[in-house]
């Protein structure tokens, strides 16, 4: 899809895009994304998301490091050639592996409480959420909260939002995996089960709108287990325990992940 970028941009109707440019990766290769010159306007994400089925370009709100805002998007600190296709993976298997890898030290009894009530046992995928809100329309509303006056608008050739994480060459979760194709595979599953949509991507952060979040404690615990397997830092360096994290995501329409 990377080689599709120039053609898709050329096919976009005149006046639909603000000033911007395709960005070439630092390690070479064709540009995997287009980046606006200025911060994104409040409603620009929704306007371009609505045209995705016509343009083949999924919009992202791209933010840089607070101390080095040119990283990673302005300077092209990305590696699309290193990423595999999400098609290669099964989300349930990836999360089971992540759950095992994020477990606390067996010799630390207090740490064992972090993943209660499941302990070391992977509980499996959570059931889908329920919502009457169309996920795309709901994402349009959430995007206005992510457009903070600093994030730039990005456009990526992709059939769905999750796939942009691999095709753009994002390296944010490097301390967990160097292959964002695996990250994209899990997000695909959340798109299908919870109406999640990829809205914002930072240097090492990811923001998803969620039209069908868990609404009960039991369901939230199962979803929290998936989040722990996906991004352990949300619990280890955030809420502290799976149970506390589950309380935070009950009814939450935005999921935010960060990899230290």
pTM of the complete model beyond 0.75: yes
Give the chain's radius of gyration (CA, Å): 18
CA distance 42 to 44: 6
> Residue 189: what pLDDT?
98
**Which pLDDT tens digit goes with each residue over 130-159?**
988 899 999 999 999 999 999 999 999 999
**Which pLDDT tens digit goes with each residue over 41-85?**
999 999 999 999 999 999 999 999 988 999 999 999 999 999 999
Cis peptide upstream of residue 117 (ω within 30 degrees of 0): yes
**Which pLDDT tens digit goes with each residue over 10-23?**
888 777 899 999 99
CA distance 244 to 10: 48
Residue with tokens 């989300």: 91
Per-residue tokens: 144: 């206005």
Q: Please report, for the chain, the start and end positions of each structural domain, with discontinuous segments joined by +.
A: 2-83+134-217
Q: Please, where are the H alpha helices in the chain?
A: 5-11, 44-50, 52-55, 91-101, 135-146, 164-167, 180-194, 217-230, 233-234, 242-249
């Amino acid at each position: 899809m990377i080689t599709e970028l120039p053609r898709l941009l050329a096919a976009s109707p005149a006046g639909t895009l603000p000033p911007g440019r395709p960005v070439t990766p630092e390690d070479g290769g064709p540009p995997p994304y287009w980046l606006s010159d200025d911060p994104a306007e409040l409603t620009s994400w929704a306007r371009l998301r609505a045209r995705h089925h016509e343009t083949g370009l999924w919009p992202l709100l791209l933010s840089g490091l607070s101390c080095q805002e040119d990283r990673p998007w302005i300077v092209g600190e990305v590696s699309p050639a290193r990423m595999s296709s999400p098609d290669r993976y099964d989300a349930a298997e990836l999360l089971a592996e992540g759950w095992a890898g994020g477990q606390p030290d067996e010799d630390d009894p207090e740490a064992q409480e972090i993943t209660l009530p499941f302990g070391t046992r992977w509980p499996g995928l959570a059931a889908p959420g329920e919502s009457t809100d169309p996920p795309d329309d709901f994402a349009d509303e959430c995007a206005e909260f992510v457009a903070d006056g600093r994030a730039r608008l990005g456009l990526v050739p992709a059939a769905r939002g999750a796939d942009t994480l691999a095709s753009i060459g994002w390296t944010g979760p490097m301390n967990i995996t160097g292959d964002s194709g695996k990250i994209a595979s899990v997000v695909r599953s959340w798109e299908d089960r919870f109406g999640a949509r990829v809205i914002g991507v930072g240097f090492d952060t990811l923001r998803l709108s969620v039209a069908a979040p868990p609404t009960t404690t039991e369901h939230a615990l199962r979803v929290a287990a998936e989040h722990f397997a996906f991004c352990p830092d949300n619990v280890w360096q955030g809420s502290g325990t799976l149970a506390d994290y589950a309380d935070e995501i009950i009814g939450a329409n935005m999921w935010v992940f960060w990899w230290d």
